[in-house]
Amino acid sequence: MATSSAHPPAPLTDLDIIQLAQQSHHHSTQPTTFSTATTSIQLPPFLLSESSHQTLLSYLHSRATTSPNPSSAVSEYASALISLTSLHSSLSSLLSSLLLSYTSLFTSHKIPHDRLSLSTIQLFATHLDNVPVPDLPSVVELITSFIPRITDSEDAQMLILLPKCLQLIRTSNEMENAYGYLNSVVDSVIKADWSKVLLVKMVEIIREFSFLNKEKRRDFLGKVFNGVRYVDLQDLPGLVYQLLVLASKGFSKKEVIEGIVMHFGDKMQGKKGSSIVKQVEGTVLLHVNFAVKQDPSLGKEVLGLVKLDSRAFNHFTVAVLLSVARVRRHCENAIGVLKTALISAYKDYKFANECKWIRDDLKEEYLQIAQVMEKAITRAVNESNYGKEHIVPSIVQFGFGLLEGVDDGSNRRLGKSNGLLGLEEIGSQMLKSSFEVHDMARKEIIEQCKFRILSLKPEQALPIVRLLEHLIKSHPYQMLDHVAHLKELLDYFTFTHAKISSHLVDILLPLTKFSHDLQDYTILALRKAMFRREDSVRLAATNSIINLILAEKQSKRDGPFSFQESSSQASCSQQAEIPCTPGPGLFQELSGLLQRCLYQQAKVREMLYHGLVKLVLVDPSAAGSVFDFLLPHFLRYYKEDADIQLDITHCIRSDGGKVHIEEPLDTLISCISWILLLQPQGKAGQPPDSWASFGFSLTQENEAGRMLSGESLSNGLSKTRMFLRNANLEGLLGKSDEAESTATVEEEKKRCCAFVWLGISEVVLNIIINELEKATEVKQVELQNELFDFVGVHEFMEKFACTSRQGSGMKRGTVRATASDSIDKLNTSDSTLPQERVPLLATSSIYWLLKMGPELWQFDCSTTGPPSQKHSQLSSCKASDRHSKMTFFMLNACLCQLTSLPSVGREDPLKMLIYGDIKLFGPPLLKLIWLLKSVPQLQKKKEFRGRKLDDRKEHIHLALICLKKLIAVSLCRSEIDELIEELVSASDIEQVPNDILDYDETNQCELAEDVDDPNARSKEKFIKKSMMPLLMELLKTSSSCEAEIVCDIVLMIGNQMPGERRTLIGIRMLQICKSSNLRNPKFARSLVSLVVSLSLPPNDFTVSHDMASELLKVFGLQKADESGTLKFLDVSDLFPLINRTTCDAIASFLLQLVESNTIEMNWIITKLKAYSSAAQKGVSLDPNGKVGPGLALEETFYSRMEAVVKLLSYFVLMNLKDPQGEHLLRLATKLYKDLAQMAKLLIAPRGCKQVLPSLKYQKLVEITCRQLTSPLYQFVDSLQKNQQESSDNKGMVNKIKRENKCIPDLIFQIEDYEKYLIKLSKATKVNLLRHAKRSTSRDFKILEPKDFVREEEKEENPASHETDETEANAADSESSEHSGDEENGGLDKVLSPESEVPEAAEDSESGGVSNDQRSKRRRIVEESSSDEEILETGQSLAF
């Protein structure tokens, strides 16, 4: 023993250690027996000796430097030592030294980084618990110093040890200030330069850093998202998955979602390999979908992100929301958020674009927001086939959701300007793209179309019907696979809305070319519908039958394969199903069904007659068959040998005292006349080729007999025309029937007969005008005489047709609206089919009459003689009377044509035939107006009778109404530029008298100069050359009603012009206001409205302030002067149009101007709340770092609100009467409510930094307190005083009740506003209430008249009343304090008692009241200690 202890233990080689570790491992893996349990591996003394550690570690370094395979050698040796150290606790120091040495070798790249090194590091990680904690910081230091040099995934193997090392240090008590050390380590890691590989690895291991606080986690996420742009595309899905895991492990979900959305939405735009990027995005969406399923709160964060700020809206956000919508819990919410965001963007842009005082850059920004949303949705849908197929069902649901949001109201008009698609278009594009790209979506789209068409309201179903129409036209062969669903829609033809059912058949017509089965099924459904009792169903069925026949004629004319060229190619099976042999013509096949229509209601017959005209327009060869079809029916009412050839009485029917038109004979005759006019000469009786399809041909005898149908109808019309011209007109209206018991029924029958004859006369007039256009000069004289005669017939029938309808039992839906009755015309029946009453006079005929109008008036005013033989045969008086009637007729017909002009259905051939180019009316109307206006100047020697002058004035009025309606129609149809060009070119300067033109050439020279836009130049020239001279002439003749129409026309055109040019027109109109002494209130209001509307902000309110100042002089002050009298002017000196007659109308307009601006400012406050909420929650989603529109919108709000307050401040000084007084109180209430909301918005919530209010806001508060609040209290007192003076009047009771409701509400809103000002003053240390005057009468008590007498007595003897007044004031102020403290909850006390300062200066109106009492009555917030503190300003909202 002694000898052995004298010698050191024998050293072991590295091979011995490896062999010892293998034996130990073999021993531990053997089955447990008694012998093995009692014996164990004894470690050599050399290994247990601390002096051997250096030798053992040298073996590790030698193997790393000398071994041919250092990775295997080092890994083998290190693993052996690790396994041996686990056998004895005394070897923990060796383990720490070994770990430190191995880490040094790894970080210095002395050993390869491969799978062996990874297994060794993982083995070290399992034994880290045995390493002494004081030794771990050295290891951590080596790892953190190596972090900047990590360039590939193998280098990052050592990071496996870092989380556990830090965790052991955190949980150990052996280190002082362990938490500070950990923070320093994390800071060094975050501050280090990260490679893309290191970033991915850090995201994987950071969740094990459980000790991180909120701030460190935020810093880490910021570091990750700053460097994620450099990560390889193939690593992005895994990185996103790890980030989503972090979000569920305590990291901020909002920040994670924001970072992912920002990266994929904006920062990957420049990545190469777009298809790969799309595939990566698809994989990321799957990860997001899975994460939301596991953690539904992630879905809420995604939804909240888009709700909070629209700038988060990009194509990836849309894709994420559509992916989240696949989770059942979030389906409805995700689709609803997308839909709401898009509609809100459209509404915001629409509002900003219509609000003229919002800056142009803000309007452009809202436009860009809407455009970005549209592009984002479109891109997300177009990229759905790149690994994103799981969102296709969500796309379909979202698309239909947008279509359901479209109705005939405001939503349909959203986004239809400046290149925006709009709800319907973008929803349709989504579904069209899905139908075209994804086969799996086609069946779902068709089924959804069917379900929604049958279940939704008609207004909501129409966009879906239009979508189905596009799918049928674009993909007919694919739609043939879904014919079964389309047939189901036809089964519900009689149960759906008539508008929808008729449209459904129309859109299915293209498919009938390819499937006879579908055509037969459609005919069967229509036959069933014709036997229904509902009128609307039969009307829809008739319309569908006509369209079916027209579609067949159109397809035969275009050829059998014309439709195939514009559609996608069909498969072989689909092509085999398409029939090639056409059947017989549908007109002959369905003639029996059409015959049934001749015995239906009048509306059904009218539709049939119009359809027959369309049939001839499409196929002129079908005219013979149509004549054969109509002749027997026409002969039921036409008797050639009778005294009255047309038996109109058989067309009228009375049931139960109700009279209605059973046969619209005027429409039948119009149908026949149009077909005759459309027939080529000499071919009226030519048989159509379609008769050959019946298997026989016509003989000469049959053909001659057939030709009689067209000739018979033509002869019948000619004889009817002659008969009506020479007939006794009163006898045409029928005789009294003795069987009828009441005179009312007879009167209604006559009126119905007059309506039919009225229509027939218009048909004849249309025929005469068509003949006049082609007649020779000799024939024209006779036709012109006939034309005047039938105008007389029309006038006579019109007198009976337009009698009083009160108490009438006649059905209004069956009576035709005539031209002269266009304003108060009879509406069609409550039929749900949108069938307008087609006029009987064509636009071309009315245009011919309008061109003839100036010739008539030129003859009427000429002194040299008539221009034709016709006029030479008539006396001047008779000719003038006929010309006047003709002018009335043509203008009434023009107005009727413009009023009935359809806004849709322009492709209808019949409507194109009748309406034509409506812009043709413009030039002759303008010429006629000027000619009528210049009649007295052209004929100075001739004396006009009063009736003649009245007729001329009515002609001008009616012509101006027509011109205004024409311009309005052109604006709706986007044809205003073409119309204005024609009006400018037609402005003949020679026909306008010189004294009219020279009204103000100095101002005219400013107009229409330096205008680059040709359309704007034309509009300006039209106003200069036509409207302004006409307005001046009308003002000279005191034609207020006509001048008002001219103002409306100028306003409509001026609103279409650029701002600067519009301002010049407004300046000219302002000069007219300053020079015209008008007495017509309506016209004065119209002129003021024109000036304000054409003035750009802030000039519009500058003009309004000037007018309000003059109104104050005319109305008078609400308080008497020192002499006790109210002073006011009769006429304003600056604006003569403001006088005692017009002041009420102008005041009403200015108050309405305030009201409209209040509504607009309420919208701005709503937007500012949204921006403020986003800023407070730290949302910053703009990729360019651009500040949102909130700050600019806030400054604009302050400027506009200041102008509104100043305008109202004039009215509170006026001596207003009802209803302006009550209107003012309501407006003031709304205004203070908005001011209170804005003040509340400026107060920073708890935890947010409070910023100082801007100087503009401080100025607004000062102006409000000085100029509005204080005078408003006096206005209320004066109003209550007037109530007491007139309280004996019973008519004042309701007025007092209304105002007693308004006044408490107003006082509440004022005090609520001041309450938030007090809070804001406390938060910002800026005294905002230094100019405020608190309320002194919070009990809203109406003062008694005796109190005012007592005040007068007090002035005479102040000493005798001083004591009483002091006591009363003290009592009142105490009660006011009590109520104020209860109402404001003690918030009136802004400052503490220690910081109070002396009160403000005495008020001039509070004489006789001591300072102590005044301090109780009015609490003024402490003024700021220095002017510098008041002037300190910041941005009001942290946008």
How do residues 782-793 score in pLDDT, each as one tens digit?
Answer: 888 889 889 888
| pLDDT score, position 1121 | 52
Q: What is the DSSP letter of 812?
A: G
| pLDDT score, position 1154 | 94
Lowest-confidence region among 546-555, 585-594, 697-706, 1092-1101: 697-706
The better pLDDT of the pair 622, 1006 is held by 622
pLDDT of 201 strictly over 80: yes
What angle in degrees, to the nearest 10, is found between the helix axes of 115-126 and 92-107?
Answer: 150
Percent of the chain topping pLDDT 70: 74
Query: For 27-42, how does the pLDDT look when each residue is reduced to its tens digit (9 = 90+)?
Result: 666 665 444 444 456 7
Percent of the chain topping pLDDT 90: 29
Query: 1191 and 359 in contact (C-beta within 8 Å)?
Result: no
Instruction: Name the one residue in this structure whose structure tokens are 């209290």.
Output: 1273
Section 955-974 average pLDDT: 91
CB contact set of 1328 (below 8 Å; sequence gap of 6+): 1253, 1258, 1261, 1317, 1320, 1321, 1421
Q: How far apart are CA 262 and CA 257, in angstroms?
A: 8
Burial tier of 568 (Cβ tally within 10 Å: 0-12, 13-18, 19+): exposed
pLDDT of 826 strictly over 50: no
Q: Measuring CA to CA, which residue among 203, 113, 99 is closest to residue 153?
A: 113
Query: For 1349-1397, how does the pLDDT look when each residue is reduced to its tens digit (9 = 90+)?
Result: 444 444 444 444 444 444 444 444 444 444 444 334 333 433 333 333 3
CA atoms within 13 A on the CB side of 60: 27
- H helices of 133-209, in order, are 136-146, 161-171, 178-191, 196-205
Concatenating the DSSP letter of every residue in 1071-1092 gives: HHHHH-----HHHHHHHHHHHH
| pLDDT score, position 734 | 65
Q: How far apart are CA 21 and CA 26, in angstroms?
A: 9
Query: 355 and 422 in contact (C-beta within 8 Å)?
Result: no
Give, for 660, the enclosing helix (H) or strand (E).
Answer: strand 658-661
Q: How far apart are CA 1208 and CA 205, in angstroms?
A: 66
Please, which pLDDT band fits residue 999 given cuts at 50, 70 and 90? very low
Please, which pLDDT band fits residue 78 given cuts at 50, 70 and 90? confident
The better pLDDT of the pair 801, 1007 is held by 801
Lowest-confidence region among 53-67, 393-407, 512-526, 695-709: 695-709
Q: Measuring CA to CA, which residue among 882, 854, 881 is closest to residue 945?
A: 881
Mean pLDDT of the chain: 78
Q: How far apart are CA 280 and CA 240, in angstroms?
A: 11
Q: Which residues of 836-851 are buried (b: 16+ CB within 10 A; e: fewer)?
A: ebbbbbbbbbbbbbbe
pLDDT of 1 strictly over 60: no
Helix, strand or coil for residue 874? coil
Instruction: Name the one residue in this structure whose structure tokens are 């005798």.
Output: 1360
Return the beta strands (E) in 354-494 as ranges: none
Query: For 549-574, how does the pLDDT look when each residue is reduced to its tens digit (9 = 90+)?
Result: 998 888 877 665 444 444 444 443 44
Section 408-435 average pLDDT: 78
Give, for 340, the enclosing helix (H) or strand (E).
Answer: helix 331-354
Identity of the residue numbered 547:
N
Q: Could you tell me the two tokens for 889?
A: 């007729």
Q: What is the DSSP letter of 1410?
A: -
Query: 1113 and 1084 in contact (C-beta within 8 Å)?
Result: no
Peptide bond before residue 584 is cis, with ω within 30 degrees of 0: no
Give, for 655, the enclosing helix (H) or strand (E).
Answer: strand 652-655
Q: Could you tell me the two tokens for 681?
A: 């000469």
Q: How far apart are CA 596 and CA 774, in angstroms?
A: 39
| pLDDT score, position 1267 | 92
Q: What is the DSSP letter of 495?
A: T
pLDDT of 134 strictly over 80: yes
Section 959-965 average pLDDT: 94
Q: How far apart are CA 1201 and CA 1032, in angstroms?
A: 36
Q: Could you tell me the two tokens for 528?
A: 């069933």
Peptide bond before residue 1098 is cis, with ω within 30 degrees of 0: yes
Q: How far apart are CA 1058 and CA 1049, in angstroms?
A: 17
Q: Which residues of 456-483 are buried (b: 16+ CB within 10 A; e: fewer)?
A: bebbbbbbbbbbbbebbeebbbbbbbbb
| pLDDT score, position 815 | 35
pLDDT of 335 strictly over 90: yes
Identity of the residue numbered 640:
E
Q: How far apart are CA 40 and CA 42, in angstroms?
A: 6
Q: Could you tell me the two tokens for 1099?
A: 């000039």
CA atoms within 13 A on the CB side of 764: 28
Q: How far apart are CA 78 and CA 3, in angstroms?
A: 34
Q: What are phi and psi of 1139, to 5 degrees?
A: -145, -175
Query: 127 and 95 in contact (C-beta within 8 Å)?
Result: yes
Q: Which residues of 522-540 are buried (b: 16+ CB within 10 A; e: fewer)?
A: bbebbeebbeeeebbbbbb
Q: Is the dihedral of CA 1042, 1043, 1044, 1047 positive or negative?
A: positive
Q: How far apart are CA 1145 and CA 1154, in angstroms?
A: 15
Q: Measuring CA to CA, which residue among 560, 484, 492 is closest to residue 518?
A: 484
Q: What is the DSSP letter of 638?
A: B
pLDDT of 730 strictly over 90: no
Q: How far apart are CA 49 and CA 51, in angstroms?
A: 5
Q: How far apart are CA 1165 and CA 829, in angstroms?
A: 46
| pLDDT score, position 615 | 92
pLDDT of 916 strictly over 60: yes
Query: 1004 and 1024 in contact (C-beta within 8 Å)?
Result: yes
pLDDT of 1182 strictly over 90: no
3-state SS, 721-781, equals: HHHHHHCCCCHHHCCCCCCCCCHHHHHHHHHHHHHHHHHHHHHHHHHHHHHHHHCCHHHHH
pLDDT of 1416 strictly over 80: no
Distance of CA 343 to the CA centre of its chain: 6
pLDDT of 887 strictly over 60: yes
Q: Could you tell me the two tokens for 464?
A: 């879906």
- Number of helices (H), then strands (E), in the chain: 66, 2
Q: Could you tell me the two tokens for 1072?
A: 């007219």
Query: 587 and 549 in contact (C-beta within 8 Å)?
Result: yes
pLDDT of 1310 strictly over 90: yes
Q: What is the DSSP letter of 407?
A: -
Helix, strand or coil for residue 1246? coil
| pLDDT score, position 1091 | 94
The better pLDDT of the pair 738, 723 is held by 723
Q: What is the DSSP letter of 631?
A: H
| pLDDT score, position 812 | 31
CA atoms within 13 A on the CB side of 1212: 24
